[in-house]
Each structure stands twice: as C-alpha cells, then as structure tokens.
Amino acid sequence: MRVTLPPSYAEVEIASQPHMWRKAAACAEAVAQQLPPGRVAFVGCGTSFYVALTVAALWESHGRGEADAYPASEMPARGSYDYVAAVQVGLASFQSAHFTNWPILMAGTLMSQIPVLLLFIAGQRYFVSSIASTGFK
C-alpha cells in the first residue's frame, strides 16, 4: 500500500519559484524607476560593494546620470550627489511591518544577485581547479 503525503511547505515553495522569478523579472523596470535620474552614490559592504559597482555601471550605461560606488567605510563625508543608495539596505524599503511588496522585492534581489552569479560563471573554471588542487573531494 502506497501512502501519498501532501507536499511539504518547502516543495510548494520550490515549485512556485519559476513563476515568482518571472513575476519579479517583469517588475524590474519598476525597481529601476525607484530613483529618478541624477548623480548617485551606491554604497555596499563586502559582496554588496561589487554589486554596487555593477549597479553604478548599469546606471551610467542606461543614461540615468553619473554614478559612483563606494565601500561603506570609504564613502566621502561630503559629496555632490543627488542620492545615496545602500545596495542591500535599499531592498528593505520594500518591506514594512504590515506589508511586503514581494514582486518588487524579488526583482531587486534578482538584480542584486546577477553580478555575483556572472562572476561565478566567469570564474567557475578557476574555482573548480583550485578545489581540485587542494585535494578536497
């Protein structure tokens, strides 16, 4: 006799991911419009700094204005910026105590992770070879 269990929460969540990522990608333009064009400083710590560099490059390449990226510890005290945006903290602005805008939050998360994923894909050969040379299996 075969017993069929209802899907677990994790299974339901995983099954919904393709739909949620498509929905998030559709909202990417709304995320891009959160800051009007202008001179912007993007700030990030650790890996977020590399994301800030990428976002600054995208900001300029799309003609939205001048952009600089800084590690939080090296952000100049005075600057002539229209806006200062903290990369990961900026995603928290889509959440409040009573409401979370999930599609926009997912779109922002997707956009902030793409540069890291691209770096991994570009350096995957070196990453794998370094693990192989250390003897880990």
Where are the domains positioned within the chain? 30-134
pLDDT-based confidence at residue 92 (cuts at 50, 70, 90): low
- Locate tokens 């602005």: which residue? 93
State how far the Cα of 101 lies from the Cα of 85, in Å rounded to an integer. Answer: 19
- Whole-Å CA distances, 37 to 28, 32, 52, 93: 16, 10, 16, 19
Give the tokens for residue 33.
């419009």
pLDDT-based confidence at residue 2 (cuts at 50, 70, 90): confident
Residue 51 CB partners (closer than 8 Å, separation 6+): 44, 87, 88, 112, 113, 115, 116
**pLDDT above 80: residue 69:** yes
- Residue among 112, 108, 134, 106 at smallest CA distance from 18: 106
**pLDDT above 70: residue 116:** yes
How many CB atoms are located within 10 Å of the residue 116 CB? 14
